[in-house]
Amino acid sequence: MNDIPKPLSETHPHLSGFMDFLADFNKETERGAALAAAAMLDEQLARIIESFLIPNKGSKALIDGFNAPLGTFSARIASSFALGLLSEVEYRECELIRKVRNEFAHQIKVSFKSEKVASLCALLQLSAKSYSDVHVDTRGQFTTAAVALILNLTNRPHYVGQKRLQVENWRT
């Protein structure tokens, strides 16, 4: 009898994108980690929204392309929450990660030790917390919250797609 467990890539092939992200994410600088986490969430939200909308050119134009109304991370967070595709906790975590991303994207001298970034990371609910003799630093708070949220949203397009909007034949 073979008791060697199968690799995660075989038992959970739907997690391959997440595993690829995680491998790269763990090698990132502080700035890179903030930008990569936000980019991954941005892409996930686009797929979630796309899974919910009626599949047509109009839906695609809302999400992708020049001046797409739902083409920004901020717009995707707001619309996903407004459409009921994110819980309140997920919405708040996305907003905090977006704000951390903006600090790293728009400031030259910034780190997870910066006062603004540290105060934002302290608000992350999905982050690992310090306990006993174990101290979770600000980057650890950000990293654990981002990974937890990304993992939560990995299968969301599948479940959202089961509730996809349908074309209605409205009375005229």
**Which residues contact residue 10 at a Cβ distance below 8 angstroms, ignoring those fewer than 6 apart?**
none
Residue with tokens 């089961």: 162
Per-residue pLDDT of the chain (172 residues; tens, 9 = 90+): 567 887 766 776 777 788 888 889 999 999 999 999 999 999 999 999 999 999 999 999 999 988 999 999 999 999 999 999 999 999 999 999 999 999 999 999 999 999 999 999 999 999 999 899 999 999 999 999 999 999 999 999 999 999 999 999 999 8
Domains and CATH numbers, the chain: 13-161 (1.20.120.330)
Q: What is the DSSP letter of 131?
A: B
Upper half-sphere CA count for residue 132 (Cβ side, 13 Å): 1
**Phi, psi at residue 134, to the nearest 5°?**
-95, 120
Please give the Cα distance from 50 to 62 (Å, whole number): 9
